[in-house]
C-alpha cells in the first residue's frame, strides 16, 4: 500500500481474516508493531528486533481478529514505544496527515496517522504515558487509554508494566467503544452526560515532586457544549502524589531492556539510548521503593466528580523534526498522571475525558459524539 506517511512498518500482502462475521466483521485493523502477531514480523520499532517473527498473537490483538477484524499491517511507532513524536531512526518519522509538518505524536503515531488518512478503519495501540491519546489529539482521531489491568498486555513488549495499557483507536467514539467491548468482554455503555458532574481540570498534577506544570485553559472551550448535553461543570483538581513517582518509570524501563542494554547500546537509536543511559541508576530497587509507595497511595484517591475534562495537549504542536527530548514532558503533562493513577482516559481529538472507570468516559464520549 502506498504509505507516504510512514504510518506502517509492515503492510500485509495477504490480510489476516479469521471470520466473515462478528461485531468487527470486515473492519480493517492496523496493530502497533509493539504487539506480537503470529507469523508476522514484529519489530517493536527497533533495529534489534528487525527480523523478529513471533509464534503467538497477543491476546488483545487475537480478540479483535476473533471478532471479525481484518489485520492489514503493523503500525510504525517511536522505538520501543518510548517517545512522544514517533520519530524513528530505523523506520522513518511518522508524518501527520491532518497537520502536515507537525508531529503525529507518539508513541502510537502510526496508528493515528493511518486512521486520519483513511488507510485503515481501526487501530490497536498502547499507552504508558500518553501514547494512544497524544497521537489521537495530534491527528484529530479518537483513542482510549483503558484503565490499568483491564486489557491484557501479554505479548506486548513492556515499557513500564506498572503503567502499560493497551487501547483501541479509531475515527469515532462509537468504533472505539465497540473495540473496547470486544477487548474488555463488556457491553458498550449507553451514552450519558446528562446529570453527571464534570470537573474542569485546568492544571495537571505534578508527578515528580517538582512544581506543577503551568495552567492551561483550553478545555474551557468545551464547557458550553457539555452543559448543553446536561452535564454540570465545576472547577476541580487532582491532588499531587505525596512523593516522586518518576523513579518507577525509569526503574521498569531499564529492567525491560536489561538483556540488550548496555550490551547492545549501539543498536539503539540516539533518542532511546539517551533515555536508557539516564535510567540506569534507577535499576537499584531501593531507589524505586519510595516511588512505588507513592503510586500505591495515590491510586487510593477517589474524585468527588463523575469525570474530568482537560486538554490532551497543553500547547502548540511541535514540528515533526523537533527535539523530542526537550518536548516530551510538555507534550505528556496532561496525560501521564492518569497512567500513574491507573484511570481510563478518552481522547476525542484534543478533548480528554478522564475517570477511574472505562464505562464512564465511554458513555460521556458517546453522548458528546451523538450530540
Give the CA diameter of the chain: 58
Helix, strand, coil percentages for the chain (3-state, nearest 5): 30, 20, 50
Please confirm, yes or no, whether 145 is among the known catalytic residues. Answer: no
Distance CA 151, CA 189 (A): 17
Please pick, among 32, 74, 145, 275, the residue that the annotation labels catalytic: 32
Rounded to an integer, what distance in angstroms lies between the CA atom of residue 349 and that of residue 171?
9
Residue with cell 513500564: 160
The angle formed by the CA atoms of residues 38, 40 and 41, to the nearest 5 degrees, is 120
Q: Looking at 131, 256, 282, 310, which residue is catalytic?
A: 131
- Other CB atoms closer than 10 Å to residue 190's CB: what's the count? 10
Catalytic pick among 107, 136, 256, 332: 107
Helix (H, G, I), strand (E, B) or coil at 319: strand
Using alpha carbons only, give the angle 327, 272, 163 rounded to the nearest 5 degrees: 80
CA 336/CA 84 separation, integer angstroms? 11
Give yes or no: 86 in active site: no
Our answer to whether residue 131 is catalytic in this structure is: yes
Q: How far apart are CA 106 and CA 110, in angstroms?
A: 8
Detail the DSSP E strand segments found in the chain.
8-17, 28-32, 70-75, 122-127, 142-145, 165-170, 197-201, 232-236, 307-311, 344-348, 351-355
- The catalytic residues are 32, 107, 131
Amino acid at each position: 500500500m502506498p504509505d507516504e506517511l510512514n504510518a506502517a512498518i509492515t503492510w500485509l500482502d495477504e490480510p489476516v481474516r479469521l471470520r466473515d462475521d462478528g461485531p468487527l466483521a470486515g473492519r480493517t485493523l492496523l496493530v502497533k508493531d509493539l504487539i506480537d502477531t503470529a507469523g508476522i514480523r514484529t519489530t517493536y520499532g527497533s533495529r534489534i528486533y528487525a527480523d523478529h517473527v513471533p509464534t503467538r498473537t497477543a491476546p488483545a490483538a487475537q480478540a479483535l481478529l476473533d471478532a471479525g477484524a481484518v489485520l492489514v499491517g503493523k503500525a510504525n511507532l517511536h522505538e520501543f514505544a518510548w517517545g512522544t513524536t514517533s520519530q524513528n531512526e530505523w523506520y522513518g518519522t511518522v508524518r501527520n496527515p491532518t497537520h502536515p509538518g507537525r508531529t503525529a505524536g507518539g508513541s502510537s503515531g502510526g496508528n493515528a496517522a493511518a486512521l486520519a488518512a483513511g488507510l485503515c478503519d481501526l487501530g490497536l495501540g498502547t499507552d504508558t504515558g500518553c501514547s494512544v491519546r497524544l497521537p489521537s489529539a495530534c491527528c484529530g482521531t479518537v483513542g482510549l487509554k483503558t484503565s490499568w489491568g483491564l486489557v491484557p498486555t501479554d505479548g506486548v513488549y513492556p515499557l513500564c508494566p506498572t503503567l502499560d495499557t493497551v487501547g483501541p483507536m479509531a475515527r469515532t467514539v462509537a468504533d472505539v467503544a465497540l473495540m473496547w467491548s470486544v477487548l474488555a468482554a463488556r457491553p458498550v455503555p449507553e451514552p450519558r452526560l446528562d446529570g453527571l458532574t464534570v470537573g474542569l481540570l485546568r492544571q495537571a498534577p505534578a508527578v515528580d515532586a517538582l512544581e506543577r506544570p503551568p495552567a492551561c485553559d483550553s478545555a474551557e472551550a468545551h464547557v458550553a457544549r457539555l452543559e448543553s448535553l446536561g452535564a454540570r461543570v465545576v472547577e476541580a483538581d487532582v491532588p499531587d502524589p505525596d512523593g516522586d513517582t518518576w523513579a518507577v518509570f525509569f526503574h521498569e524501563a531499564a529492567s525491560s531492556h536489561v538483556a540488550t542494554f548496555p550490551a547492545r547500546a549501539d543498536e539503539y537509536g540516539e533518542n532511546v539510548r539517551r533515555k536508557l543511559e539516564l535510567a540506569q541508576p534507577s535499576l537499584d530497587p531501593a531507589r524505586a521503593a519510595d516511588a512505588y509507595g507513592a503510586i500505591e497511595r495515590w491510586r487510593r484517591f477517589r474524585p468527588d466528580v463523575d469525570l474530568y475534562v482537560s486538554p490532551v495537549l497543553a500547547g502548540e504542536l511541535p514540528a515533526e523534526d523537533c527535539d523530542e527530548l526537550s518536548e516530551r514532558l510538555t507534550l505528556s503533562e496532561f496525560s501521564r498522571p492518569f497512567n500513574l493513577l491507573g484511570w481510563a482516559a478518552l481522547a476525542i481529538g484534543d478533548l480528554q475525558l478522564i475517570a477511574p472507570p472505562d464505562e464512564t468516559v465511554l458513555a460521556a464520549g458517546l453522548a458528546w459524539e451523538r450530540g
